[in-house]
Amino acid sequence: MSTLNTYATLDALRARFAVASTDTADDVRFLAKLRAASAQIERAAGRIFAPIVATRAFDWRNDHTLLFRTEDLLSLTALINGDGSTIDPAAIILLGGVGGAIYGVELNLTKAFFVYLLTKTRALSVSGVWGWHDDYADAWKPSGDVVSVFSMTAADTTVTVNSVTSADGWGLAPRFQVGQLISIDSEYMQVTAVSSGTSTLGVIRGTNGTFAAVHIIGTPITVYVPPIDVSEIALRWAAWLIKQEDAGEYGQTLEPGIGGAHVPPGVPPDLLAALDGLRKVGGAV
């Protein structure tokens, strides 16, 4: 399962260094630093800021409450009891989740309760979209485009669209950029290349817990928008990595950062401070 998250785009990092969109000499290096910055942010904050489709197992604690102390849930698909039965959605009360992440669930005991069979350990299964966002209800924006010209097979690594440079559904241009996470039907894809000449996107298929599938002509394409403060931190962090490398000071040694997480030495204190309000605080479930 690929979960190579990038919390800012290549276009945005180019703009940070005042590099013209036509100057692609540093694209590979810039994108590598964006990915490194995003991974280091995840480790330092102790949470993922992109949607991951997965099933997580949790210990049975009591018959009515389950807290996700080490996880963040964005959308619940199914809650499976310790005996293998699916809990009625009408019995489930989501804790949190008003715009942001869900931190647990509570059951209406007149309709259902948590049970386990031989062991309490990892007895309960929760399927859904995991990750953290402060406004997940508005985290996916319409690209203003669709799968065009050709339907996609499960093996295709390019998407043909109507236009890669026009404005998206929010009026922002270009609508597609390297580093974006896009969704077609229920499949997530990472955009790795954008060609205005052929109106195509190079993509990594079936990312973040999803699977490559067939998509017919006319299927809408949506774009994931990470939390805006996380995107800004990712740009600043990537810029710092680039400057460190240019100065010959970037090393691989890691040292403790926020909450005991490990980050490269010398990360500016203001970057770590900016992450402090975004880090996951919790204990064993």
pLDDT at 7 over 60: yes
- Strand pairing partners for 145? 221
pLDDT at 228 over 90: yes
The whole-angstrom separation of Cα 275 and Cα 46 is 10
Q: What is the length of the chain?
A: 285
- Would the CA dihedral through 52, 158, 185, 221 be positive or negative? positive
Q: Name the strands in the sheet holding 200-204, side by side, starting at the edge strand that comes first in the sequence.
A: 140-146, 220-224, 181-184, 187-195, 200-204, 158-160
Please list the alpha-helical segments (H only) found in the chain.
10-16, 27-45, 228-246, 269-276
CB 133 within 8 A of CB 139: yes
- pLDDT, tens digit, 9 for 90 and up, residues 114-146: 999 999 999 999 999 999 999 999 999 999 999
Q: How far is CA 170 from CA 37, 173, 225, in A?
A: 27, 9, 11
- pLDDT, tens digit, 9 for 90 and up, residues 149-198: 989 999 999 999 999 999 998 898 999 999 999 999 999 999 999 999 99
- Percentage with pLDDT > 90 across the chain: 74
The reported pLDDT for the residue numbered 250 is: 52
User: What are the domain boundaries of the chain?
Assistant: 52-130, 141-224
- Residue environment code for 217-234, b if the CB has 16+ CB neighbours within 10 A, otherwise e: eeeebbbbbbbeebbebb
The whole-angstrom separation of Cα 176 and Cα 164 is 5
pLDDT at 2 over 70: no
CB 93 within 8 A of CB 163: no
The reported pLDDT for the residue numbered 187 is: 98
pLDDT at 252 over 50: no
pLDDT at 282 over 70: no
Q: How far is CA 13 from CA 19, 20, 21, 116, 170, in A?
A: 8, 11, 10, 50, 20
- pLDDT, tens digit, 9 for 90 and up, residues 52-105: 999 999 999 999 999 998 889 999 999 999 999 999 999 999 998 777 789 999
The reported pLDDT for the residue numbered 99 is: 74
For domain 141-224, the CATH architecture is: Beta Barrel (2.40)
Phi, psi of 43 (to 5 degrees): -65, -40
Mean pLDDT of 247-276: 67
The reported pLDDT for the residue numbered 253 is: 44
SS3 sequence, 42-90? HHHHCCCCCCEEEEEEECCCCCCEEECCCCCEEEEEEEECCCCCECCHH
pLDDT at 254 over 50: no
Mean pLDDT of 241-258: 65
- Residue 242: band (very low, low, confident or very high) from pLDDT cuts 50, 70, 90: very high
Q: What is the average pLDDT score of the chain?
A: 90
Question: Which amino acid, residue 249?
Answer: E
pLDDT at 3 over 90: no
Q: Among 25-34, 137-146, 190-199, 248-257, name the one with the lowest average pLDDT.
A: 248-257
pLDDT at 33 over 50: yes
- Residue 257: band (very low, low, confident or very high) from pLDDT cuts 50, 70, 90: very low
Cα 135 to the chain's mean position, in Å? 13
pTM, full prediction: 0.90
The whole-angstrom separation of Cα 187 and Cα 206 is 6
The reported pLDDT for the residue numbered 284 is: 34
CA angle 69, 75, 77 (to 5 degrees): 105
Q: Which residues contact 202 (CB under 8 A, 6 or more apart)?
A: 157, 158, 191, 192, 193, 194, 195
- pLDDT, tens digit, 9 for 90 and up, residues 196-220: 999 999 999 999 999 999 999 999 9
Task: Please tell me what DSSP assigns to residue 200.
Answer: E
The reported pLDDT for the residue numbered 264 is: 66
